[in-house]
């Protein structure tokens, strides 16, 4: 019943671990550095950081070249590490969030004034965002809309605006990256509307 619910999946994986540092990856994240784990541990031990963001990159195709998501250090569980104690202190991820559970967690991480280290020594590759439909994005938007009781109203609105901010990029017909980001934001906004109006949304 929790298939595809990323908040629940991250917490389930977390409860099965015992290490001091917890690294989250997506199933399509590519680690190319054989010393990745050793370097990542060193990032924690050489600092008082509560979380470490490796440098991320991806490519749509050879012709369009490379780009680095929203920025190379976007806090994403496609590849991000935390101290176990920090995850425990902040209560882990919100079980009901279908996607972008890392964005919501980063809000709480920042509000708690925890330090995040952006690493230049460890990196990863991840396939670019390809949105065949808006279904998944709508499910994510709906799950964020249901967080209303967790946050002060201005913070809740900020989260919703953040997920919808790329809609204008749909107007750019020449960039695959812009179209995919715009389509995700459109789906996210539709999900908010579905949650507010009570429309049933099926996602699998």
CATH number of residue 80's parent domain: 3.90.550.10
SS3 percent helix, strand, coil of the chain, rounded to 5, is 45, 15, 40
Same domain flag for 74 and 33: yes
104 in the same domain as 80: yes
Please state, as a whole number, how many other Cβ atoms lie within 10 Å of the Cβ of residue 146: 16
Residue in the structure block whose two tokens are 């065949």 = 132
- Residue 107, pLDDT score: 86
Number of domains in the chain: 2
Distances (CA, A) of 4 to 71, 159, 163: 25, 21, 19
Interval 49-104: pLDDT, tens: 999 999 887 654 443 444 444 456 677 888 999 999 999 999 999 888 888 888 88
pLDDT, average across residues 164-180 = 87
Domain annotation covers residue 81: yes
Q: Is residue 200's pLDDT more than 80?
A: no
Residue 60, pLDDT score: 43
| Domain shared by 20 and 118, yes or no | yes
For 123-138, what is each residue's pLDDT tens digit?
888 777 666 788 888 9
Q: How confident is the model at residue 178, as a pLDDT?
A: 84
Q: Are residues 116 and 23 in the same domain?
A: yes
116/146 same-domain check: no
Residues 62 and 31 reside in one and the same domain: yes
Domain that holds residue 11: 6-125
Mean pLDDT confidence for 144-154:
88
- Cα radius of gyration rounded to whole Å, the chain: 17
Write out pLDDT tens, residues 6-58: 888 899 999 998 899 999 998 888 887 889 999 999 999 999 999 999 988 76
pTM for this one? 0.77
Q: Is residue 120 in a domain?
A: yes
142 close to 201: Cβ distance less than 8 angstroms? yes
- The span from the CA of 37 to the CA of 39, in Å, is 5
Mean pLDDT of the chain: 84
Q: Report pLDDT for 96.
A: 82
pLDDT at residue 56, rounded to an integer: 80
């Amino acid at each position: 019943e929790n298939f595809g619910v990323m908040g629940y999946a991250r917490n389930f994986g977390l409860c099965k671990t015992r290490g001091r540092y917890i690294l989250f990856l997506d199933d399509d994240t590519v680690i190319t550095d054989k010393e990745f784990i050793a370097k990542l541990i060193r990032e924690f031990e050489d600092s008082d950081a509560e979380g470490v963001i490796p440098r991320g990159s991806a490519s749509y195709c050879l012709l369009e070249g490379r780009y680095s998501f929203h920025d190379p250090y976007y806090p994403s569980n496609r590849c991000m590490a935390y101290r176990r104690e920090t995850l425990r202190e902040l209560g882990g991820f919100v079980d009901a969030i279908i996607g972008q559970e890392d964005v919501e967690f980063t809000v709480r991480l920042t509000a708690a004034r925890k330090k995040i280290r952006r690493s230049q020594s460890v990196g990863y590759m991840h396939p670019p965002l390809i949105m065949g439909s808006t279904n998944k994005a709508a499910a994510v938007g709906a799950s964020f809309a249901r967080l209303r009781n967790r946050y002060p109203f201005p913070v809740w609105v900020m989260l919703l605006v953040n997920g919808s901010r790329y809609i204008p990029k749909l107007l750019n017909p020449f960039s695959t990256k812009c179209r995919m980001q715009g389509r995700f934001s459109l789906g996210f906004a539709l999900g908010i509307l579905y949650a507010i109006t009570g429309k049933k949304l099926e996602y699998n």
